[in-house]
Chains A and B, each alone.
Chain A
Amino acid sequence: MSKRFTGSADGRPMDAAQIEANFGDIHPALSETQAMAESSRCLYCYDAPCVTACPTSIDIPKFIHQISTGNITGSAKTILSSNIMGGTCARVCPTEVLCEGSCVKNATGEEPVKIGQLQRHAVDGLMEMNVPHPFFRAASTGKKIAVIGAGPAGLSCAHRSAMAGHDVTVFEAKPKAGGLNEYGLAAYKMVDDFAQREVDFLLEIGGISIEYGKALGGAISLESLKAEFDAVFIGVGLGDVNALGLEGEDKKGVESAINFIEDLRQADKKTDVNVGDNVVVIGGGNTAIDAAVQAKRLGASDVTLVYRRGAEQMTATEWEQDLAQVNGVNIRLWSKPVGIKGNGKVEGMSFERTMVDGGKLVGTGKTYELPADQVLKAIGQVLEAGPLAGLEIDGGKIKVGDDYQTSISGVFAGGDCIKTGEDLTVQSVDDGAKAAEAMTRFLNA
């Protein structure tokens, strides 16, 4: 698998085997030789900027040095002690704007050290080694912790809490754990069922049970959990998606990109997932890119990604934008959707050109149409506030203090549902771990 995708070899529709191959690993793992060569490029900086740039503050120079000395177990433990989901983060972190973006090698005009790839080398190496789980639980505290949501924040919180000696019950609405790692990332970033393998690895610590099919507002409520547990952690993410607010949004073929991505991840065969011939993706984030690139790889003839502002303002990283381009996705900038065409089923969309005027985005009055038999909306996710009644919400997110405690004593929150940094896996992992530490302090107080 490579980053580049050239489509059908003969103009005919791709066969199932080729489509399946299109979803192979986009970043093939480093070989032993590559890992040694790359690790030797690291300068072993002191007070390294890459560590500062990492939301989980992984001691990057140390773990890379450990790779170079052949100490893979030690290297993986260095990573995982800061970030228990170091395996997923190695695959999906926007390293170009985090660790690798701050690598001092950039300052000398050299390529940054491939930190993400090296991290994967170490963590995968450990997971393949068939060794005991590298972390231990402290003596039992007898305290019970409820975690709502088995995504990166919840699982990170659960692992760190289990290490502290608490007993953790995780409540998950879906049938599988992993959250967006399992349901929300492009398939070519998370091959070989990595999300589930990582969950299994994380649960080896012991002291964590997961109850599936239990959603907040459904089988469980904040009140009941608060009564039964000594502390509660909310890691529910953002459960709702934004709407375009256009007439005809309910037409057949207008879907959430999140659902499209989830379907692809859960499908036994990728060809089971329906894809249009003319696909329009609305949005400028990594979700939009994941949907657009996968639509192309699934066999759509034309995929157009439309974003209302410019490339600079896209939250998708430059790497992701480049990925879309080398996969044949057309990117149209400075355009906002103004109409959905079709009779019961979407047939096209109309857009208005936009511009910035006096600091505000305005329509220019110039419009154009694109044919579309599938529209994937990726214009942001929002907090599903209903089941959280009673909690203080601020700016669309659960309000927490410096200790990750919500407005209700003993109830903590982290991940995409609170406002810390970017909505990234790595940020959620950090929130979960730090909240777990705050909960332990709270329980000991």
Chain B
Amino acid sequence: MADLRCKIGGVESINPFWLASAPPTDKKYNVVRAFEAGWGGVVWKTLGIDPPVVNMSSRYGAHHDSNRGVLGINNIELITDRPLEVNLQEIREVREEWPDRVIIGSMMAPVEENAWKTLAVKIAESGVQGLELNLGCPHGMCERGMGSAIGQVPEMVENVTRWVKEVVDIPVFTKLTPNITDILVPAEAAYHGNADAVSLINTVNSIVSVDLDAMAPTPTVDGKGSHGGYCGSAVKPIALNMVGEIARNPETRDLEMSAIGGVSNWRDAAEFIALGASGVQVCTAAMLFGFRIVEDMIDGLSNWMDEKGYQSIDDFRGMATPNTVNWNDLNMNYDIKAVINKDECIECGRCHIACEDTSHQAITKVAKPGGGNEYTVIDDECVGCNLCLHVCPVQDCITMKRVDDGQSHLTWPEHPLNPMRLAAE
């Protein structure tokens, strides 16, 4: 059986599955239930300087599919609304009762050196294994000059990280906001501030829907709504890219990452780790289904690793990073064509209409003598875009077959049609 133990930013964990700083980690009761379920660690819901904030009623909005499945949630909840000492006391108790589990203290303060340093020391003294600096919250707290208001200014990211590093001797995770143009800039700032790791992504700034009766964004608070932080499986692709960029950027490739963003199952976790993350943090999936989802995360990852022959997380960590390249580095001679398996085809016509209306008119529809239609790919028209494969409702009915010789490699900078082509040697 694969060994799921790992080290994230210098913090040892029994598995790579932590709960992110969010409502599920707001208090001892929840955290104990999470540890009972098997989570390797928690990042305690963000602690601030007393007096605690006040949260309001109506906090979550959801982006549903047509079958009431939740694609994403957004929220306008602030940081913990309980006094600091209450939280710290509970952290001390859980620390005592669950010695093999990770507790990271998430924290937030105004951009004042003393405020960060004082709070960081207090939290560190409660026994947490690390601190996470919340520089990403995109709603409410940013209006008070905290959260993403700090995370969006690289100099502040660097300063805050450095301030905290100067006063504590436990690992410091700088949590990054995706609500910026280029994730590498704040990542480099955190690196220069001596962060032990970065946690990303925080939630994406969003309006999740508009209530067309109330004519207000949701969640609606007495007739009005505000932008909130978007999370859940819908943001996973955004998070994967940001993790991948940091991993392959020479300036930041040594920075450890605790990946966050729509991790819903073991496969999502494996993908983030393959792109270079050391572990993952989960929130939305637990909020939708409860802490028990970690059981299959552990079991599924372990089984997959056994099947692949990976004995530890490090065996496959970052393996997809070298294959994450710029568009200019892709092989333009690679040529694939769609193949429809007619025995599997149920004749829904989706591939045809998608290709006909929106792509390359490469799938013909011909009425069969006995009724029904036959769908056939015209190889000469097929550009190998994959659209038909994605819209086909039958697994493996449409596959892509490679038709080039598999030998020659030609990138756009070398391409004869590129007017900016590098001069031939």
Chain A residues at the B interface, C-beta cutoff of 8 Å: 33, 36-37, 39-40, 43-49, 52, 68-69, 104-105, 107-108
Contact = CB atoms under 8 A, between A and B. Distances in A.
Contact of B66 (A40, A46, A52, A107): A40
Given A46-B353, A52-B371, A107-B346, 19 more contacts: A33-B68, A36-B66, A37-B67, A40-B65, A40-B66, A43-B393, A44-B350, A45-B349, A45-B350, A46-B350, A46-B352, A47-B352, A49-B347, A49-B372, A104-B346, A104-B347, A105-B346, A107-B347, A108-B393
A48 B349 contact: yes
A43 B65 contact: no
B365 A47 contact: yes
Contacts of B353: 46
B68 A46 contact: no
Contacts of B347: 45, 49, 104, 107
B348 interface: yes
B1 interface: no
Interface string B340-358: 0000001111101100000
Contacts of A52: 371
B319 interface: no
Nearest to B371: A52
A39 B66 contact: yes
A117 B68 CA distance: 20
Contacts of B393: 43, 108
A134 to B, nearest CB: 22
10 contacts: A33-B68, A37-B67, A37-B68, A40-B67, A43-B348, A46-B353, A52-B371, A104-B347, A105-B346, A107-B346
B373 interface: yes
What 8 pairs across the A-B complex have the smallest Cβ distances? A46-B349, A46-B353, A107-B346, A40-B67, A104-B346, A45-B348, A40-B66, A68-B66
B394 interface: yes
Given A47-B365, A49-B372, A108 B350 contact: no
Nearest to B367: A47
A52 B368 CA distance: 13
Contacts of B372: 49
Interface residue tally on B, bucketed by range? 10 to 19
A204 to B, nearest CB: 28
A401 B21 CA distance: 75
Given A52-B371, A108-B394, A47 B67 contact: no
Interface in B369-386: 371-373
Interface of B: 65-68, 346-350, 352-353, 365, 371-373, 393-394
B356 to A, nearest CB: 8
A40 B65 CA distance: 9
A332 B395 CA distance: 45
Q: Considering residues A37, A43, A46, A49, which has the most beta carbons from chain B within 10 angstroms of its beta carbon?
A: A46
Contacts of A44: 350
Contacts of A104: 346-348
Contacts of A40: 65-67
A39 B68 CA distance: 12
A69 B64 CA distance: 12
Q: Considering residues B65, B66, B67, B393, which has the most beta carbons from chain A within 10 angstroms of its beta carbon?
A: B66
A46 B67 contact: no
A36 B65 CA distance: 10
Nearest to A52: B371
Q: Considering residues A37, A43, A105, which has the most beta carbons from chain B within 10 angstroms of its beta carbon?
A: A43
A433 B87 CA distance: 73
A99 to B, nearest CB: 14
B346 to A, nearest CB: 4
A45 B347 CA distance: 8
A156 to B, nearest CB: 26
Nearest to B65: A40
Contacts of A48: 348-349
B227 to A, nearest CB: 25
A47 B346 contact: no
A58 B13 CA distance: 59
Contacts of A39: 66
A328 B393 CA distance: 40
Contacts of A43: 348, 350, 393
Contacts of B348: 43, 45-46, 48, 104
Nearest to B349: A46
Contacts of A37: 67-68
Contact of B68 (A36, A45, A49, A107): A36
Contacts of A108: 346, 393-394
Contacts of B352: 46-47
A36 B67 contact: yes
Q: Considering residues B347, B372, B394, which has the most beta carbons from chain A within 10 angstroms of its beta carbon?
A: B347
Nearest to A38: B67
B372 to A, nearest CB: 6
A46 B356 CA distance: 11
A104 B394 CA distance: 11
A39 to B, nearest CB: 7
Nearest to B68: A36
A327 to B, nearest CB: 34
Nearest to B393: A43
Contacts of A45: 347-350
A40 B67 CA distance: 6
Q: Considering residues A48, A49, A68, which has the most beta carbons from chain B within 10 angstroms of its beta carbon?
A: A49
A275 B420 CA distance: 92
B354 to A, nearest CB: 9
A412 B111 CA distance: 86
Contacts of B66: 36, 39-40, 68-69
A47 B375 CA distance: 12
A74 B353 CA distance: 23
Contacts of B68: 33, 36-37
Contacts of B349: 45-48
A44 B365 CA distance: 16
A37 B68 CA distance: 8
A31 B164 CA distance: 56
B397 to A, nearest CB: 10
A37 B67 CA distance: 5
B362 to A, nearest CB: 15
Contacts of A107: 346-347
A51 to B, nearest CB: 11
A43 B371 CA distance: 20
Nearest to B69: A40
A100 to B, nearest CB: 14
A46 B363 CA distance: 13
A39 B67 CA distance: 8
A110 to B, nearest CB: 10
A52 B373 CA distance: 11
A69 B66 CA distance: 8
A69 B349 CA distance: 21
A43 B394 CA distance: 11
A114 to B, nearest CB: 14
Nearest to B67: A40
A122 B103 CA distance: 53
A48 B365 CA distance: 12
A59 B255 CA distance: 56
A49 B371 CA distance: 9
A47 B373 contact: yes
